[in-house]
């Protein structure tokens, strides 16, 4: 008797004498079950609620299906889950777990999905400063910028005695004819030049800028309002500002000196600076040639430029001989020799700014902060901020839920792969929504711990 066949089934080579068939009839299944942890983190931080408060919604409620809070939640969580494009949301809008996060299992209209599609989210990203006839949702950019710092402040139960703010600029390559498109010689491409400010793992600012400017352009204004916002909550905190030589500018150093802010900046070398460490470089070369491995010496001295600086400042020079050649480096600082010696200042304080590079990689590679393909700079700035808030959300999950697990120091990409992209069967009944996750998930223990810590934090 012939075997009864189902034309919808997909046949594969048999295993151990058993037929292998597959079909798309599993019901409500998601590959994003770990988004439940993001939803719990969002509730602890009140992130989507507070971000939605930065928008003015002038749409007619009668014809509005998706609230602004649902839209910003969907966009931020979508980025955290790896969905970089708005087009992805035409599929994601039907995901049952995302519907659970939106507290909306079904739309009020039969022709709508529980979540918004790409067109509605596109209108959110094209928000203007004020509502217009064709743009009913308006973004308060100052409120959005303040929210980054408020979330950083709220993450601390009490004021720390000292914090370090890291400044850096990076390239955001462009592949179209976006507004503000310029060629940058150093990066050898058309790009934007966003300015980032971090405090440890916390993102405090992400400012989109044209690339035909000095790397430090706008840094003074950005730091001034960030410091003011921090000091309003923590008046006695000691602040150290750190950056590479691109931020070693008289105006920024003078501001720090006038406002009780310490600084450590890289200092571009020149002939006058190199002459200051001739003896140290000779000693480093002798030691390197004698021992057969790199050697370094440090010199602490007072120095000023010929005309651009307003005063003498402390400079630390590193005289290093490595791989058969000189490698001199210099930093300028407001910290005194009594507080910290030259070697510890350079190796322990200044070089630690390299950790910020890892944060930039997380934002750009894991959370798509370089996905600025909209036509206008305003829309691209909103895209950059949405990626920034996705980073804040992932950072909150890592800090609150994963602090005592193997993922306490993991990157956003690793957390997504191990804990968020989990397959599950979703069953919806009258009394409950059951998410049955894969029994073979190797990170069940960490998932359960994160759930417990997030519940305790939100209690």
Same domain, 357 and 405: no
Same domain, 344 and 372: no
Same domain, 86 and 40: yes
323 phi, psi to nearest 5 deg: 55, 35
Which residues have CB under 8 Å from 51's CB, separation 6+? Answer: 69, 72, 76, 144, 147, 389
| Burial label, 176 (beta-carbon count in 10 A; 0-12, 13-18, 19+) | exposed
Would 17 be classed as within a structural domain?
A: no
pLDDT per position as a tens digit, 255-290: 999 999 999 999 999 999 999 999 999 999 999 999
3-state SS assignment for residue 131: coil
Would 416 be classed as within a structural domain?
A: yes
CA-CA distance, 390 to 349, in Å (whole number)?
A: 29
CA-CA distance, 100 to 11, in Å (whole number)?
A: 34
Same domain, 362 and 412: no
Same domain, 176 and 250: yes
Q: Which residue has the tokens 């994601």?
A: 92
> Which tokens go with 281?
């470089």
Same domain, 235 and 308: yes
Q: What is the pLDDT of residue 308?
A: 93
Helices marked H in 215-368: 219-233, 250-258, 271-276, 278-291, 342-343, 355-361
Element (H, E) at 218: none
Which residues have CB under 8 Å from 269's CB, separation 6+? Answer: 328, 329, 330
Q: What is the pLDDT of residue 1?
A: 42
Q: What is the pLDDT of residue 24?
A: 85
Helices marked H in 46-166: 47-52, 68-80, 89-92, 96-101, 118-125, 141-154
Q: What is the pLDDT of residue 100?
A: 92
| Number of domains into which the chain is organized | 2
Q: What is the pLDDT of residue 6?
A: 64
pLDDT tens track of the chain, all 459 residues?
A: 444 556 678 999 999 989 998 988 888 889 999 999 999 999 999 999 999 999 999 998 888 889 999 999 999 999 999 999 999 999 899 899 999 999 888 776 766 788 999 999 999 999 888 888 788 899 999 999 999 999 999 999 999 999 999 999 999 999 999 999 999 999 999 999 999 999 999 999 999 999 999 999 999 999 999 999 999 999 999 999 999 999 999 999 999 999 999 999 999 999 999 999 999 999 999 999 999 999 999 999 999 999 999 999 999 999 999 999 999 999 999 999 999 999 999 999 999 999 999 999 999 999 999 999 999 999 999 999 999 999 999 999 999 999 999 999 999 999 999 999 999 999 988 899 999 998 889 999 999 999 999 999 987
Same domain, 392 and 353: no
Same domain, 284 and 407: no
Q: Which residue has the tokens 């950083």?
A: 152
Same domain, 356 and 393: no
CATH number assigned to the domain comprising residue 264: 3.90.350.10
Same domain, 131 and 199: no
3-state SS assignment for residue 401: helix
Q: Is the dihedral of CA 381, 84, 50, 117 positive or negative?
A: positive
Q: What is the pTM of this model?
A: 0.93
Choose one of 344, 366, 388: the last residue of a domain: 366
Would 13 be classed as within a structural domain?
A: no
CA-CA distance, 288 to 296, in Å (whole number)?
A: 8
Q: Read out DSSP for 146-190? A: HHHHHHHHHT-SS--SEEEEEEEE--EE--S--TT-EEETTTTEE
> Which tokens go with 139?
């973004």
Would 352 be classed as within a structural domain?
A: yes
Would 15 be classed as within a structural domain?
A: no
Choose one of 349, 366, 383: the last residue of a domain: 366
* Residue range(s) defining the domain that contains residue 205: 142-366
Q: Is the dihedral of CA 138, 143, 147, 148 positive or negative?
A: positive
Q: What is the pLDDT of residue 109?
A: 72
Taking residue 341's Cβ as centre, other Cβ atoms within 10 Å add up to: 13
The pLDDT mean for the chain works out to 93
Q: What is the pLDDT of residue 2?
A: 46
Would 8 be classed as within a structural domain?
A: no
CA-CA distance, 456 to 97, in Å (whole number)?
A: 22
Q: What angle do CA 398, 401, 402 make, to 5 degrees?
A: 55
């Amino acid at each position: 008797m012939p075997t009864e066949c189902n034309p919808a089934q997909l046949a594969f080579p048999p295993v151990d004498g058993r037929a292998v068939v597959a079909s798309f009839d599993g019901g409500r299944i998601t590959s994003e079950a770990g988004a439940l942890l993001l939803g719990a983190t969002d509730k602890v931080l009140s992130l989507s609620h507070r971000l939605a408060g930065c928008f003015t919604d002038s749409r007619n409620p009668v014809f509005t299906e998706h609230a602004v809070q649902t839209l910003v939640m969907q966009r931020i969580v979508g980025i955290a889950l790896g969905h970089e494009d708005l087009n992805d949301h035409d599929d994601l809008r039907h995901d049952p777990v995302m519907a659970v996060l939106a507290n909306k299992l079904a739309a009020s209209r039969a022709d709508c999905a529980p979540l918004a599609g790409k067109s509605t989210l596109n209108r959110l990203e094209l928000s203007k400063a004020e509502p217009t006839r064709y743009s009913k949702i308006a973004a308060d950019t100052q409120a959005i910028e303040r929210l980054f710092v408020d979330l950083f402040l709220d993450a601390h139960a009490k004021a720390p005695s000292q914090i370090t703010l890291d400044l850096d600029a990076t390239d955001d390559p462009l592949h179209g004819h976006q507004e503000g498109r310029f060629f940058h010689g150093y990066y050898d491409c058309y790009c934007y030049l966003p300015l980032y400010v971090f405090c440890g793992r916390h993102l405090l600012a992400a400012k989109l800028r044209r690339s035909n400017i000095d790397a430090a352009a706008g840094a003074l204004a950005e730091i001034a309002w960030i410091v003011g916002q921090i000091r309003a909550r923590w008046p006695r905190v000691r602040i150290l500002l750190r950056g590479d030589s691109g931020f070693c500018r008289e105006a920024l150093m003078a501001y720090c000196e006038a406002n009780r802010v310490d600084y450590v900046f890289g200092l571009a070398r020149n002939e006058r600076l190199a002459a200051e460490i001739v003896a140290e470089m000779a000693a480093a070369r002798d030691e390197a040639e004698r021992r057969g491995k790199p050697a370094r010496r440090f010199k602490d001295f007072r120095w000023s430029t010929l005309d651009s600086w307003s005063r003498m400042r402390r400079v630390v020079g590193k005289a290093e001989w490595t791989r058969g050649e000189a490698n001199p480096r210099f930093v300028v600082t407001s910290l005194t020799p009594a507080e910290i010696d030259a070697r510890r200042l350079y190796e322990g304080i200044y070089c630690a700014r390299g950790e910020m590079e890892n944060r930039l990689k997380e934002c750009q590679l894991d959370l798509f902060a370089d996905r600025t393909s909209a036509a206008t700079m305003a829309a691209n700035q909103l895209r950059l901020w949405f990626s920034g808030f996705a980073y804040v959300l992932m950072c909150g999950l890592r800090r609150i839920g994963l602090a005592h697990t193997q993922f306490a120091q993991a990157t956003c990409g690793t957390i997504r792969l191990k804990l968020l992209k989990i397959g599950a069967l979703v069953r919806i009944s009258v009394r409950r929504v059951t998410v049955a996750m894969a029994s073979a998930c190797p990170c069940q223990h960490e998932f359960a711990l994160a759930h417990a810590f997030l519940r305790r934090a939100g209690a």
